[in-house]
Copies of this chain bind each other. A is one copy, B any other.
Amino acid sequence: MKNSQIVIDSLPEDKLSQDHFRQINVPLPDVESGQVLIKTAAISIVAGARAGLQGSANYTTGPAVGKVMGGAGVGEVVSSNDEKFPEGVWVLGATGWQSYSALSTDSLTRIPSDRDPIDYLGPLGANGMAAYFGLLKVGRALRGDTVMVSAAAGSVGHFVGQMAKIAGCRVVGVCGNDLKCARLTDELGFDIAVNYKNHSFRKDLKCATPEGVDLYFDNTGGPILTSALFRMNVGGRIACCGVVSQYDTSSPNAGPKGIPGLLVNKRINMQGFLFFDYSNEYEPAREEISRWLNSGDLNSVNDEFRGLESAPEAFVNLLSGGNFGNRIVRLP
């Protein structure tokens, strides 16, 4: 029995590539007091992890050459002395990109047996929590609001738009290709979706928001944020969730010129947030999201790769906008 791991081979200075990772096999980890051994079933690939590799965000702590790539995963407890996490239960935890991990039970979320563990890498995990708290707590979405969301086909964005529809909002999604636009409206109920890569984007966005934007859920920063600022209504809110346009580069864009001028003139509120600040409220949120999943009001779209060895490709492809929904790597 070996533990297969994807480790960081070098830290990226510019664009990330698969060459920044390598796969190794090591012995199974020692299981210390308070820990259990988990066999990883699937890991979640998220854009914020790229910021972690720059040491510029709090999403992960201490990435370093030779260390296992960090990230959330779900798996089965295969060795345990803990009554609350006996062998056979499923958990969500910071498994990292490896087939086995020894984790402190304090850090684990036990997955109820009536739910698909994969949902804990999607609507009931970080993606869902970021969408839920960002939209409803930070952004204070109200019935009748026009809500704009960037990276709308992404792991967080595809939930934001659907949750905004549940909240009675008009939803405008922004993403990077026409096929994604079509899926957002046809499959997920977005009112309209616009492709920011089209030359007509600013005009398209204006047409898509005839009554302006009340709440902008920002997953990208960069030029889309600048365009959003010009469409915001007086008293509008911007929930700042991520900055995917700026992670994978050594030369980030200049900041949005309209800040702070447009914030003043339009009395706009911008609020940055990290979903784990709401960890005390995860359980009621998961209950509500589970009801939406059960009723069919919320669809979780998974975009899966198979095999731990595919994780670097899944990550690099995600950063270039290749995913629709939750990017997940299933382990055999």
Contacts and interface: CB of A to CB of B under 8 A. Distances in A.
Interface string A53-66: 00011100000000
B267 A269 contact: no
Given A267-B271, A269-B271, 20 more contacts: A56-B265, A218-B260, A225-B259, A226-B255, A246-B261, A254-B257, A255-B255, A255-B257, A255-B259, A259-B270, A260-B272, A262-B272, A263-B270, A264-B273, A264-B274, A267-B272, A267-B273, A268-B272, A269-B269, A269-B272
A70 interface: no
Interface stretch (A80-88, A236-244, A286-294, A297-305): A236-244
Interface residues of A, number: 38
Contacts of A262: 272
Nearest to A257: B255
Contacts of A254: 254-255, 257
A20 interface: no
A252 interface: yes
Top 10 closest A-B pairs, CB basis? Answer: A255-B255, A263-B272, A254-B254, A264-B272, A240-B260, A270-B270, A255-B256, A240-B263, A243-B261, A255-B257
A259 B261 contact: no
A254 B246 CA distance: 16
A218 B260 CA distance: 9
